Structure 1
């Protein structure tokens, strides 16, 4: 994705997409529904419509009652939050490491937990001591920060990173992030004003963090228990010539 802070991020512009459903014989048309849902809800919805039992392992919840309703706005009061997560996008860091994050998004707020804030969220800068091999199992480093695809926007920001009018945007797009972020998405949909350190918003931060922790532990997310197993998984596309582990299709047994 050539636009920073969008795809491969848990910000509003990286995860929030519209959902349109049409079934004239079964679903009342012409409505706008505000219930928060996730793609994990699709499978149980389809299974219920088909009259098939929903396996207990599925954590998503069927949308069928929401779709059948004639109400607009908020239909199901329990659908007031969505949890999203990120691990690895491309080979953008030494040792094939990802940028693990988890978030909870409510009607008004987005809380993000960055599990490894010491890493570069958009991928590491281009290493100057590595050969930029583009044959065999290696792909180009390009402009660096490989979690953001090449584009005129990215090139301009990199070339003008020290210009006064670009510095702040460059840091937001490519710089390291704190362990926690909190945004008022109604007032700040671009997620530019991190409220996590504002005393006024501490009760909201505490509530959302506790709720996120509860969901992650209930679903046995390894990150909630301090496990790094996701870092071990192979990458089957071409790797970059970073330091450390970069063997295509192999497990990284350091994790």
Structure 2
């Protein structure tokens, strides 16, 4: 067929470029996806992406906290390079993001759901985003046409908005980028009405390390504390720091009847609900409160910890059930509208999450459950279905991956690597043997110490700094629960030397330094003072 003009040829090329659907949930631990682990929940729709594509078992984040992770994804640069090191300050919009570049290259772009940046996204033809953390029920949205409130459950609404855009405002002559971003399963884990009863009565297996004592330095005869000081001082323990009211949905009047004083994080989860939603809520949580009132007087610390863990998992996993259901809705839409064959679909989370491991909830640490993130990608005719991949990849790599898929040159200052060689079965060209991590938000909620580190497939070296100076080395193959700090063990002196050298190399490669550490300490402390 002859083209009548250069413009027509260019239009044909743009139309044939792959569509991109980027699905991200918030705080979705890989342990709660049945493609990784089927002990807690079945997620058949999310699993579909792996069955039709690739499941990554060694994907990780560069900074395990919400807004900084999103900044890394959009910019393809580490936190110290894009400036978004914490959740406090707004994103620096002088950064160039991959959606801006795709939009400039002819992609139609849309974002729906949770951004959590402190400002609006650039590079999108249309967006509807939650303000800050957003609400599970009847949420407010910020749009490029004004703010609005939508009645319903947030996970359903975000999907409705995404499908509505695909159905009514997508230009079929253009490739598209859809960023479909869920609030769930972020704390405080409010399930949809239809899943309240189903999950409230379930019991889940206890993690091996639920009652971790944080003793790590048990070898080598070195005169140091036997404890991991960073682990010991973190404030994310299910036993001590998970709240009965905010997290476990026990009513304040129940605590008053039992004489329990819990002065922090008092909130009413039903405050945004309408009468129908509130009735369904009470139908589930009234019996839970009554049962707790009867059982509490006989609970010891261990029994209470287990009870809080079960309550946590019931609500957390119920929110994931809604995510999985709605991912299925979107995948079905793509199939029914003949969009799947030319669309790459990515499912991930902004980081991992603790589901009772080491007695914790939340994230932030470079330890495995927080550092490792789920990643499932399907791309028809490019990815062989059903493949499991253990290459070391990070959220740092998404920007360059999407740009290469779209045929757009990546800016020189992006620091990731395109995943296209892995996706297309040419991973012999993939030469990464280590990844870098750096966490900054301290002192802050959950009191996780500042730290940076390097991980290979075999080992992980972490340096905690600022108000402590402690090193930890873990054998990722033989000690997957990370219970034995080998840094002070003479038998591992060669490994310590090798990993220390590798850490220096990745710090230099990604342009991080002690000067950066000090600069961000000073700027963060100033933000805390001004808050």
Alignment TM class, shorter chain as reference: 0.5 to 0.7
TM-fit CA distance, 1:26: 2.3
Equivalent residue of 2:472, what SS?
strand
Using the TM superposition, give the Cα deviation of residue 29 of structure 1 relative to its aligned residue in structure 2, in angstroms.
1.2
Q: Which of the numbers 493, 500, 510 marks the counterpart of 1:209?
A: 500
- Shift of residue 57 of structure 1? 0.4
Larger Rg: 2
Q: In 2, Cα distance between the equivalents of 1:45 and 1:216?
A: 23
1:230 to 1:98, Cα distance in 2 relative to 1, 3 A? farther
State the SS of the aligned residue for 1:20: strand
Deviations along 1:130-187, whole A, 9 cap, x unmatched?
xxxxxxxxxxxxxxxxxxxxxxxxxxxxxxxxxxxxxxxxxxxxxxxx5211001112
Contact 2:463 2:471 in 1 (8 A): yes
TM-score, normalising length from structure 2? 0.30
Q: Secondary structure at the match of 1:196?
A: coil
Q: Distance in 2 between matches of 1:103 and 1:6?
A: 19
Where 1:46 maps in the other structure, the secondary structure is helix
CA contact (8 A) 2:453 2:461 kept: yes
In structure 2, the residue matched to 1:200 is 491
1:232 aligns with 2:522: yes
2:361 and 2:432 map into 1 onto residues whose CA distance is 26
Report matched runs for 1:73-112 at 5 Å.
75=428, 78-88=431-441, 91-92=444-445, 99-112=449-462
Q: Cα offset for 1:105?
A: 1.0
- Deviation per CA, 1:86-110: give whole Å up to 9, x if none: 01066259xxx98321111111111
Answer yes or no: is 1:187 the counterpart of 2:478: yes
SS at match of 2:461: strand
Mapped pair 1:246 → 2:529: yes
Report the CA distance shift for 1:10/1:42 in structure 2 as closer, same or farther (over 3 A).
same
**What is the count of residue pairs matched by the alignment?**
175
Query: 2 CA distance for matches of 1:5 and 1:210?
Result: 33
Name the Cα RMSD after superposition. Answer: 2.9
**Structure 2 unaligned regions, length at least 5:** 1-235, 239-353, 355-359
Paired with 2:489 and 2:513, the residues of 1 have a C-alpha distance of 30
Distance 1:205 1:6, change over 3 A: farther
Distance in 1 separating the partners of 2:450 and 2:386: 39
The answer to whether the Cα contact below 8 Å between 1:181 and 1:196 also exists between their aligned partners in 2 is: yes
Residues 38 and 29 of structure 1: CA distance in aligned 2, closer, same or farther (over 3 Å): same
1:11-30 matched pairs, under 5 angstroms: 11-30=367-386
* TM score, norm. by length of structure 1: 0.60
Query: What are structure 1's unaligned runs of at least 5 residues?
Result: 119-177, 240-244, 249-255
1:32 aligns with 2:388: yes
Ranked by relative contact order (alpha carbons within 8 Å, sequence separation 6 or more), the top structure is 2
Residues 1:204 and 1:235: Cα distance change in structure 2 (over 3 Å): same
Distance in 1 between residues matched to 2:431 and 2:424, nearest whole Å = 16
Work out the CA distance in 2 between the residues paired with 1:62 and 1:111.
Answer: 25
SS at match of 1:52: coil
Q: 1:5 to 1:207 in 2, by over 3 A?
A: farther
